[in-house]
Structure 1
């Protein structure tokens, strides 16, 4: 349909997402000793991303004049989960800033925005906002990790006015 450049986002490390930890976590689950994330769900995300990249390569073969870029969210976010304090996340990486009671401050019956939900005072010290979405601080670091790859640098340049990224087509 005329597109020349497509960016396809891979899956996050879903085993580190607060809502999944709260809902799927149990004594029978295997947790990564370094991050506290659910190993089974992260392996699933890695498998999904591997299949996605294979498929994107096949699509690229059919459309050699189109630039298809895989954005590796998984590996862009994992350093945050491995070393949250190095990125300023002093409240850790797995607990939600806005939510309900429980180990991860997530409760599906106390969704962020409802009267029963609690909200932290310093969102920039949390990776997770509401159990599903990450905080602006986390997305800021992820975007820096994504846009530091040579694939993106060759396609994007930063505006001198500071307005953001401009994509050349």
Structure 2
């Protein structure tokens, strides 16, 4: 498992903050498919990478951002070379290749079972060693945000902490 550093924490926290506070980020996803929301997330992630690489001093930060980003279904080396596990390949929704190899997963539901599915899928990404880290963004579609609100419970806090410390999966809710 890749060691976490303050730079990794800063990068992933910055990604989460940038995406979820962006005015273009859709807050209400009822009646919108995950594929639709993923299509909207793609430019936000690329914009974050552009900002990140610009702040790092890259002259062609736009080119660097685009070379460092891949989405599920895009042609190229990341689409073909996934390891097989239990008879299928791991395909995250998005892949950030630099500055860290990060799988990005997006899930949305009114059902907590979707969180467990997303966590399991994310853990497989790092256990297979295809990815160093995973950023899993879960959109709680309940009006009362009961799934997101449950994260204050000790059990949920412990699970979130453990999947980050043991499996490099950063789980965030909105």
Please confirm whether the aligned pair reaches a TM-score higher than 0.5, indicating the same fold: no
Bigger share in strand: 2
Bigger share in helix: 2
TM-score (normalizing by structure 2): 0.30
